[in-house]
Amino acid sequence: MTILIDQPEFGVEAGFMVPQSNAFGHTFRDYHVESERQQVVENFYRTNHIIQTYDFVKRMRKEYGKLDKVEMSIWECCELLNDVVDESDPDLDEPQIEHLLQTAEAIRKDYPGEDWLHLTGLIHDLGKVLLHPSFGGLPQWADVGDTYPVGCAFDESIVHHKYFEENPDYHNSAYNTKYGVYSEGCGLNNVLMSWGHDDYMYLVAKENNTTLPSAALFIIRYHSFYALHRSGSYKQLMNEEDVENLKWLEIFNKYDLYSKSKDRIDVEKVKPYYVSLIEKYFPAKLRW
């Protein structure tokens, strides 16, 4: 089922005010400020960049694309994330369910008529459940952090790019050119991304026959692809549908990044609304 959505009104300022600093008093996505948290983040990216190869991603997609781990509802998955903290995030050390609700509620305030976007805000990071012991507890470097294409050159805009020099694909002539195994305008749907929660949640939503629009699936799959939506890299791989969906991702990114704070959301107060959206766009139980 395809749902048509109106294009966003670009140039119209929404009410959400971007804060000047993150929960630690630093600039958002500052990967160079010296702190104990930053050392954790840098160590994470070193491991991530060395191990995430084209062949590794193909193996992970094959394994986790089976969706044979468990059956549960969207909200049950949200509750599992109470136990998850993202080590790659320099801006927040709260449980992930806090971030999900902060993102969704900020979007809901500014775009009250786009209920699909509210739900996308709630579920966009649910793939981080792969870190949970009940899913086998993937290491952080295999589930979180910025994502990027594999199978072509690693763009220098990717955070902590220097560590790619230890990745076997960096020296492989089949994978280290501008297009690598891809072609101009091939479409991001045909590009393998580094493995993580984005691609996993995309697979979960798609294979469980969600009725969310394509823009929602694009946001879920590429919201951590900062080299694209922050730096403008890899646009040579995009097709026309990608160009249109990127407009919604750029809107979403503001709420994903800047709504992170120590302010708490009253979960029980907002739960009925989000449960109603889950029932609208998803089956009662999903394969994960």
Residues that constitute the known binding site for substrate: 29, 86-88, 128, 145-146, 223-224
Residues placed in the known binding site for Fe cation? 99, 124-125, 197, 223, 256
Query: Residue 7: what residue type?
Result: Q
Looking only at the bridges linking them, the beta strands covering 71-72 and 286-287 are: antiparallel
The tokens for 101 are 């609700």
Please give the Cα distance from 44 to 55 (Å, whole number): 20
β strands within 26-140, DSSP E? 71-72
**Interacting residues of 213 by C-beta distance below 8 A, sequence separation 6+:** 2, 3, 4, 5, 116
What separation in angstroms does the CA of 217 have from each of 124, 206, 223? 9, 8, 10
Residues placed in the known binding site? 29, 86-88, 99, 124-125, 128, 145-146, 197, 223-224, 256
